[in-house]
Structure 1
Amino acid sequence: MERKAHTILEEYRNGIEQLSEHLPKTIQEYNRFTGEAFNDGEVTKANKHLMALAISLKEGDEPSITYHMDQCVAMDCSDQEIYESMGVAAAYGGGEAMSQSVTKGFEILKQLRNQS
């Protein structure tokens, strides 16, 4: 059975919160580092999440695909921008990344767009 995007996001956020109870300083530093890495700079925050989406698709990491897809949707990335990121993932990662894009990627995008 396929997990829903909102369930994956909730599980991820709950897991981070739970780990934070045991490793508060580590999680605080991780969140600081990743927050800084994804801030607007010469490259926009939206473009950084599109890059991370492509990497996540290449790696087949469903929680990361879902998280970065959610961020792309929240930042008003167009479907075309997301599709082009899927294409980059497939160009770099081959058939496996293409498979992730056309299965998990499309389904997660559809779920997140329907929630908006």
Structure 2
Amino acid sequence: MGSETKDRLSAAKGRIGMFAKAAPAAMDGFARLSKAATSAGAFSSAQRELIATAIAVVKGCEDCILYHVDSARKHGAEESELVEALEIALEMGGGPALMYASKALEAYRDL
């Protein structure tokens, strides 16, 4: 199952790349925003990515979940930290967030 998750992440990144070629100015701005939003400050980059994951869970964005879980892992986030962020997402998003929270945990374990 891990390779399926990696394939879905790769496909999402491919779609982002395709859009970046079609709208380079917009994506340049978005890339700068994304870099600023995930750069360490009072929160570490891993913590910022976990916040983004929690928001993605509440919003129900599967590709966002994959992208931010992958980034959180790369920045050193532990599974236990993800679970804590997902608990907050569950509080804020209710039942639908539970379904996406389980997808986020599965993605963490698969990646």
Give TM-score, length-normalised by structure 2: 0.89
State the partner residue of 2:59. 59
Displacement of 1:15 in angstroms is: 1.3
Can you list the C-alpha shifts for 1:57-92, whole angstroms capped at 9, x where unaligned? 111111011111111111121111011011000011
Structure 2 segments unaligned to the other structure (5+ residues) = none
Structure showing greater relative contact order (alpha-carbon pairs closer than 8 Å, 6 or more residues apart): 2
State the partner residue of 1:111. 110
Give TM-score, length-normalised by structure 1: 0.86
Structure 1 segments unaligned to the other structure (5+ residues) = none
For 2:44 and 2:26, how far apart are their aligned partners in 1?
26
CA RMSD for the aligned pairs? 1.4
State the AA in 2 paired with 1:20. A
Which segments of structure 1 move beyond 3 Å, counting only runs of 4 or more? none
Displacement of 1:106 in angstroms is: 2.5
Displacement of 1:4 in angstroms is: 2.2
For 2:52 and 2:63, how far apart are their aligned partners in 1?
12
